[in-house]
Amino acid sequence: MYKIEGGDQSFIANTNVKDNHFSFILKKGDAPGIYRLFYQMANQTYLDFIYNNEDIVLSFDPNDPAGSINFTKSDENNLFKRYTENSATPQSELDNIQLAYFKTTGNATDAKLTQDYILKLQEINKVQQQFENLSKSMLTYHFIVASKRTNADKPFKNAADYLAFTKAHFFDGIDFNNPILVKSTLIIDRVNDYIFYVNVSPDQKMQTQLYKTSIANVFDKIHNPILNKSLVYYLLKRFSTNENKAITEFLLTNYFDKLPLADQDSDYKNTLIEKMKIAINATAPDIAWQDFGENKSLYQLKGAKYYLILFWSSTCSHCLNEVPLLYDYLKAKNEVKVLAIGLEDAPNPWNAEMSKYPNFIHVFGENHWKNKYAKAYDIHATPTYIVLDSAKTIVAKPYDINDVKAFFSKLKM
């Protein structure tokens, strides 16, 4: 069990499940807030609940925790569960009315939908007020107020106007200085929705600009240093995991570097900088080798639309299974050149194995995992595939031979 502290979590205790039952005893004085039960660590499966100095009895199906959770004892959690259930249905119905209103063209239909919208909005507001009143003296109150969604007084005919309204009022219910919210997951969850689901575009350049604008809008609202730090690290993790080089660098320059020095983890920053050197859309680090005494390099290679860098080893069983399949698959694809880096401890058996693939360009990567190119490309497993375009920009990182085939199949090559 962990206590949530914004973007971080503090370990509290662990226990074993016996006959489908488990229990925790919190010490007197343990702080109220959001706590997290991890029950499948390998899959990062967890369940969050509110603790406010009361006994809690709950049950759930580990395969469907959100859909099956039942609190047989807990005023706080039961009230919040009832709130989410009672508010979700009318809000969904209101959204459906809005969608229908986008599509109508007749005045009579518009008038009927507008009336339906107004009545449904009244129902939503009534539910919200009811649960705010019921929770006034409870910890749950803060989450109920912060979960309130601002809806327009009447439906929009134009989708762009609707989206603009949604963006402008997305955080209306949230007090970014509320210490209870700051130490919960709610603010970061809402920020996540705003950046990744409200501000979207199919155009890559537009999406990058939307990310930057939405991130700036969020940080303009935050003046709490604890929340500011948590959010900077959370977003860096999200975008770096997605290998979004442009936004990771944007976050480092505009937000990480402006944190108090005590909050700047320089090792973490350096790790991200190195990782972004080999992210999707990054220019691939050069690779140099000698071929019968002649100096050659990755950037000297010409004449192909794509270059596939293959990190493999002649002593790797997975490689010995996949590399022959790769070789056969690419035989007829003249627009793809393969640069095969053999991560080895000794020239043999690499010499014998690599001779089976004469169409590949082979490089002997001495010192195996300690090889400088293995380090430059952050290689920790073989085989590893990295696809470059003709300009040597990294465009894909297929997981295995099937992903390699899928990538080139999409290009109809």
Cβ-Cβ contacts under 8 Å for 127 (sequence gap 6 or more): 83, 86, 87, 90
Instruction: Specify whether 47 is located in the same domain as 190.
Output: no
Instruction: Specify whether 123 is located in the same domain as 67.
Output: no
Q: Which of 378, 192, 373 is CA-nearest to residue 270?
A: 378
170 in any annotated domain: yes
Instruction: Specify whether 354 is located in the same domain as 297.
Output: yes
Going by pLDDT thresholds of 50, 70 and 90, the confidence category of residue 386 is very high
Instruction: Specify whether 399 is located in the same domain as 255.
Output: no
Cα distance between residue 362 and residue 341, in whole Å: 6
Of residues 41 and 237, the one with the higher pLDDT is: 237
Instruction: Specify whether 228 is located in the same domain as 91.
Output: yes
Q: Say what the pTM is.
A: 0.86
When the pLDDT of each residue in the chain is averaged and rounded to a whole number, the result is 95
Instruction: Specify whether 65 is located in the same domain as 81.
Output: no
281 in any annotated domain: no
pLDDT for 97-116, tens place per residue? Answer: 999 999 988 788 899 999 99
Residue 156 has pLDDT above 80, yes or no: yes
User: What is the total count of domains within the chain?
Assistant: 3
Instruction: Specify whether 266 is located in the same domain as 293.
Output: no
> Which residue type does 25 have?
I
Residue that terminates a domain, selected from 50, 73, 96: 73
Q: Which of 224, 226, 213 is CA-nearest to residue 254?
A: 213
| pLDDT confidence of residue 41 | 65
Instruction: Specify whether 385 is located in the same domain as 344.
Output: yes
Residue that terminates a domain, selected from 20, 55, 73: 73
Element (H, E) at 344: strand 336-344
Residue that terminates a domain, selected from 223, 248, 276: 276
For residue 341, what is the domain's CATH number?
3.40.30.10
The least confident of 17-21, 25-29, 268-272 is 25-29
Going by pLDDT thresholds of 50, 70 and 90, the confidence category of residue 8 is confident
298 in any annotated domain: yes
pLDDT for 44-92, tens place per residue? Answer: 788 999 999 999 999 999 888 888 999 999 999 999 999 999 999 999 9
Residue 216 has pLDDT above 70, yes or no: yes
283 in any annotated domain: no
Q: Are strands 384-389 and 361-366 parallel, antiparallel or unpaired?
A: unpaired
Q: Are strands 288-291 and 2-5 parallel, antiparallel or unpaired?
A: unpaired
The encoded tokens of residue 12 equal 């509290």
* Helix/strand/coil for 305: coil
132 in any annotated domain: yes
- Contact criterion met (CB below 8 Å) for 203 and 238: no
Domain encompassing residue 183: 77-276
| pLDDT confidence of residue 62 | 85
213 in any annotated domain: yes
Instruction: Specify whether 172 is located in the same domain as 199.
Output: yes
Going by pLDDT thresholds of 50, 70 and 90, the confidence category of residue 261 is very high
- Contact criterion met (CB below 8 Å) for 26 and 33: no
Which neighbouring-strand residues pair with 4? 9
20 in any annotated domain: yes
Length of the chain: 413
Instruction: Specify whether 320 is located in the same domain as 263.
Output: no
282 in any annotated domain: no
pLDDT for 114-150, tens place per residue? Answer: 999 999 999 999 999 999 999 999 999 999 999 999 9
Instruction: Specify whether 235 is located in the same domain as 123.
Output: yes
Going by pLDDT thresholds of 50, 70 and 90, the confidence category of residue 208 is very high
Instruction: Specify whether 247 is located in the same domain as 356.
Output: no
Residue 42 has pLDDT above 70, yes or no: no
Going by pLDDT thresholds of 50, 70 and 90, the confidence category of residue 297 is very high
